[in-house]
Structure 1
Amino acid sequence: MVEGGAPFPMLSDGPGNIGKVYGVYDENAGVEMRGRFIIDPDSVVQAIEILTPPVGRNVLELIRQIQAFQHVRVTNGAEATPTGWRPGKTTLSPRSDLVGKVWKVWKVEHAFD
C-alpha cells in the first residue's frame, strides 16, 4: 500500500464492464485477468500484457516500455528502441536494409546491460 494513498485516481470495476471492453474479463470466474494497456496521448493502444491472476506483473518493465514509447514518439518514429532498451542506450534508425540484419548493428548482450 502506498503511504498516504495512491498519487493517481483509482477506480473499481465490480461488474467487469471495462475488463469486458479490453477482453480481460473472465466470465466463468467473474474476475478480470491481470491486464495492462499502454495507451498513447492519441488514444491508440501501443502495448498489451495479459497474465493469469497468480502471476504478477513487472513494474520496472512497464516503466521501461513507457520510456521507450515516449522516446519513439518524441523522435516521430525516426528512432526505434531495440530489445531491453533504456534511456541513454543505443537506438536504431528504422530502414528496410536492416530487415533481418539488425544483429549486425545491435548485439543481444545490449539487452542485458
Structure 2
Amino acid sequence: MGAEVITVSTDTQFVHLAWHRDEKMLEKVRYPMGADPTGDVSMLFGVYDENTGLDLRGTFIINPQGTILNSEVNFYNMGRNIDELMRKFKANLHLSKHENEGCPAKWKEEGDKTLKPSPDLVGRVYEALQ
C-alpha cells in the first residue's frame, strides 16, 4: 500500500525482542520496533507521560513530506482498532489524490461515496450521502 510501519516505545530493544518472541499475537509482525528508553521521541509526539516514564498509546499517520495527517492517543489500557487505522490510512491515500473531497466517517475504501465540502453542504451531509 506504499506505507512503512514502525512502532516506538520506552521499552528497550531487549524487552521488544522478548515480547516478540513470547507473544503469539506478534508472530506475523515484521515491522521494526524502535526503543526510546529516554522518551525523547515520545516527547516529540506528545505521548510521553513523565509521571510514569511510559508512553501513552499513540498512533500517527505521517505523509512522505513529514506532515502528520492523523493522530490518535489512547490511555494505557485502551486498545486500538486496526480496521479503523486502515480506514484512516486508505482515506488519507484517497484524499492525497482528491484534495477537494472529504471522506465521511463511514467511508471505507476507494469507490465509497465522498463529499465535496462547501457552504451548500452544511446541514445536508445525510442527504449528500444517500
TM-score greater than 0.5 by the shorter chain: yes
List aligned pairs for 1:60-75, cutoff 5 A. Answer: 60-75=83-98
The answer for the alignment partner of 1:2 in structure 2 is: 27
Counterparts of 2:57 and 2:127 in 1: how far apart (Å)?
37
Shift of 1:97: 1.1
The answer for the alignment partner of 2:8 in structure 1 is: none
Do residues 35 (structure 1) and 35 (structure 2) align? Answer: no
List aligned pairs for 1:1-113, cutoff 5 A. Answer: 1-3=26-28, 6-75=29-98, 77-87=99-109, 88-106=111-129
Instruction: State the TM-score, normalized to the length of structure 1.
Output: 0.84
Instruction: State the TM-score, normalized to the length of structure 2.
Output: 0.74
Whichever residue aligns with residue 71 of structure 1, its letter is H
Q: Matched residues, percent identical?
A: 37
Q: Could you say what the CA RMSD is over the residues aligned between the two structures, in angstroms?
A: 1.4
Whichever residue aligns with residue 108 of structure 2, its letter is R
Query: Which stretches of structure 1, 4 residues or more, deviate above 4 A after TM superposition?
Result: none
Gaps of at least 5 residues in structure 2 are: 1-25
